[in-house]
Amino acid sequence: MRDPRTFDADASGGQSFGDLPEWDLSDLYTAPDAPQLKADLDWFEAEAKAYAADYEGKLDTLDADGMLRAIQRHERLDQVAGRIMSYAGLRYYQETTNGERAKFISDMQDRLTNASTALVFFNLEFNRLEDAFLDGLYEANADLARYRPTLDRLRAMKPHQLSDEMERFLHDASVVGASAWNKLFDETMAALEFTVRDETYGIEGVANLLSEQDRSLREDAAREMARVLSANVRTFARIHNTLAKEKEIEDRWRKLPTPQSARHLANHVEPEVVQALRDAVVAAYPRLSHRYYALKAKWLGLDKLRPWDRNAPLPMEEDRRIQWDEAVETVTTAYAGFDPRMAELAEPFFTKGWIDAPVKPGKAPGAFAHPTVTDAHPYVMLNYLGKPRDVMTLAHELGHGVHQVLAAEQGEWLSSTPLTLAETASVFGEMLTFRALLKAAPDQNARKVLLAGKVEDMINTVVRQIAFYDFECKLHAARREGELTPDDIGALWMSVQAESLGPAVEFMEGFESFWGYIPHFVHSPFYVYAYAFGDSLVNALYAAYEETPEGFQDKYLDMLRAGGSKHHKDLLAPFGLDASDPAFWDKGLGMIEGFIDELEAMD
């Protein structure tokens, strides 16, 4: 295996950040041709057939013990399939341009999809069971009742369920539907090359240049991004048109009232809660992003910010790169300062090959924490380039990882947290790291740099993501009226950008194509509001921590440990918080506003 520092130097202008870790996927499987992987595939195919033979058409005849056995067998099937696809997916994301890896993930998906057709009956048949029948089973067996939160989320789709034959068709066709377009998007993005001052970058590398001190370099990077994205905008438009139309067709057949409904059901969150969040953030645009960007233009000595100035460092900010060991120390110390158990849970990520940090040719852009399966452990992907924001990204993804480790105690069906709460631990991890750095700031300039960086991160997490959500809402509504040209999509994009960023930002030609590289629009429609939900929730949580620190750590870890076993009302109740209260969101937004107040007072 090549030294990761070599990969890093190739991708980051010759700079090294220390011994960056790479994944050791052997905890899943030792190789694509590993005997255990073949054995698991064979077992899955045989067990899926046996499961259907044992239970299809018979769920309404089961007693409580029999239903528990059926669910536990299904859970084991999901676990084995999840292990296989986690391994295939993580290998693929390490090198999306590798033909063998792309073929391997497609082959695994095909085999598992074909085999799991036998299991489609379970959801359909379970949703036809009477409520009274299920209530009786839950009362008779506490172990079965433990699964009720997951089963209730399944039954939320009951009114939107299609015929058994149609559901099987959609299941079988899925491999050539959204997942195929997702792969086309990933491969297209990974293959893009951006040339800035005779250096060639992928999307991560060129986007990283937008936060350099040298303004002319930032402008060159932004214009090159605009050139390359504009050159590929027809492909991006085709992907978005197809996925939005596919979604419209399925939503229409399922009688889902809005394009967002499926996401709200999956998140187990009420539409009015999301609408209250969206409305609160949009109403706060003038107090948050508009005000902050006007301040930043003044700091930079500009009449208007251009797209390449929005994430620029402040003039007094040191232009230094943070070594990997320093980043690790910063985050783990902040975690330990909150609770030593947090640092203990984070430790194996750094020592056991659970993190893949270097930027590498063909590697997927961005960062994520993948939970894999509950009898293994999560893996974190980064594209580490030594910027302060990369340290915060490490804190963010490590928060996800800690959450996933704790929630794994719930088992496969109850560990997965709805997206609205999935960002809680990640954003809280960022907040802990930020507060530790702020406390240690040696002077007012250092404090100003930290506060400005945090405000920008919060604006990117709250304002930007709600603007993304509005863009998606507009895109899907417009697609229902007909095919959208790249110019049509660009106009929708620019409308939300202007509204959210405000009059202090002036756009450049080509910025109308920047929607093309946002992966969430492709992979997870309407995912993005979860970021704003999580950030605002964490701001309120942290305020509760400052007001009443006694016993907070135990309650917080218990909340993470609950995974998907409780509704957001029940999870937040111990902290005296309620996300269904419209005033709740103003508390979170108020923290951002307070930071901007402090920055204004420093001038």
For position 184, what pLDDT does the model report?
A: 94
DSSP 505: B
* Arithmetic mean of pLDDT, 331-340: 97
pTM for the full predicted model = 0.82
Across the chain, mean pLDDT equals 92
Q: Which residue has the higher pLDDT, 215 or 316?
A: 215
Tens of pLDDT along 470-520? Answer: 999 999 999 999 999 999 999 999 999 999 999 999 999 999 999 999 999
The continuous run of DSSP H or E covering 333 comes out as: helix 324-338
Residue 313: Cβ within 10 Å count: 18
Q: Does pLDDT of 420 surpass 80?
A: no
CA torsion 539-540-545-548 (nearest 10°) is 150
Tokens 């056995």 identify what position?
69
Q: Does pLDDT of 408 surpass 50?
A: yes
In a domain, 231, yes or no: no
Nearest partner of 518 among 465, 476, 459, 453, judged by Cα: 465
Tokens 């006007």 identify what position?
294
Sign of CA dihedral 328, 329, 335, 341: positive
Q: Does pLDDT of 3 surpass 80?
A: no
For position 534, what pLDDT does the model report?
A: 87
Instruction: Report the CATH number at residue 157.
Output: 1.20.140.70
For position 337, what pLDDT does the model report?
A: 95
In a domain, 579, yes or no: no
522: buried, middle or exposed (CB in 10 Å: 19+, 13-18, 0-12)? buried
Q: Which residue has the higher pLDDT, 76 or 165?
A: 76
Q: How is residue 141 written in tokens?
A: 């067996």
Between β-strands 379-381 and 355-356, what pairing exists: parallel, antiparallel or unpaired?
parallel
Q: Give the separation between CA 270 and CA 581, rounded to whole angstroms.
A: 12
Q: Give the separation between CA 440 and CA 428, rounded to whole angstroms.
A: 19
Tens of pLDDT along 17-36? Answer: 889 999 999 999 999 999 99
Tens of pLDDT along 222-262? Answer: 999 999 999 999 999 999 999 999 999 999 999 999 999 99
For position 587, what pLDDT does the model report?
A: 83
For position 13, what pLDDT does the model report?
A: 43
Tens of pLDDT along 569-582? Answer: 899 999 998 888 87
In a domain, 16, yes or no: no
In a domain, 335, yes or no: no
Q: Does pLDDT of 588 surpass 80?
A: yes
Task: Please give the residue range of the domain that contains residue 100.
Answer: 31-176
* Arithmetic mean of pLDDT, 540-561: 93
* pLDDT classification of 419: cutoffs 50, 70, 90: confident
Tally of domains in the chain: 1
Tokens 């040191």 identify what position?
318
In a domain, 70, yes or no: yes
The alpha carbon of 125 is separated from its chain's Cα centroid by a whole number of angstroms, namely: 32
Q: Does pLDDT of 5 surpass 70?
A: no
In a domain, 499, yes or no: no
Tens of pLDDT along 220-229? Answer: 999 999 999 9
Q: Does pLDDT of 166 surpass 60?
A: yes
* pLDDT classification of 15: cutoffs 50, 70, 90: low
Q: Does pLDDT of 85 surpass 90?
A: yes
Q: Give the separation between CA 151 and CA 167, rounded to whole angstroms.
A: 18
Spatial contact of 499 and 467, defined as CB atoms under 8 Å apart: yes
Q: Which long-range contacts does 36-40 make (Cβ < 8 Å, 24+ apart)?
A: 37/84, 37/87, 40/80, 40/83, 40/84
For position 441, what pLDDT does the model report?
A: 87
In a domain, 73, yes or no: yes
Q: Does pLDDT of 188 surpass 50?
A: yes
Q: Does pLDDT of 7 surpass 80?
A: no
20 beta partners? none
Q: Give the separation between CA 257 and CA 260, rounded to whole angstroms.
A: 8
355 beta partners? 380
Task: List phi, psi (to 5°) of 322.
Answer: -95, 125
DSSP 459: I
In a domain, 121, yes or no: yes
* pLDDT classification of 268: cutoffs 50, 70, 90: confident
Angle CA(538)–CA(540)–CA(546) in degrees, nearest 5? 100
Q: Does pLDDT of 185 surpass 60?
A: yes
Spatial contact of 322 and 386, defined as CB atoms under 8 Å apart: yes
Q: Does pLDDT of 8 surpass 50?
A: no
* Arithmetic mean of pLDDT, 56-79: 98
Residue 513: Cβ within 10 Å count: 24
* Arithmetic mean of pLDDT, 5-11: 33
For position 2, what pLDDT does the model report?
A: 26
396 beta partners? none
Residue 370 in 3-state DSSP? strand
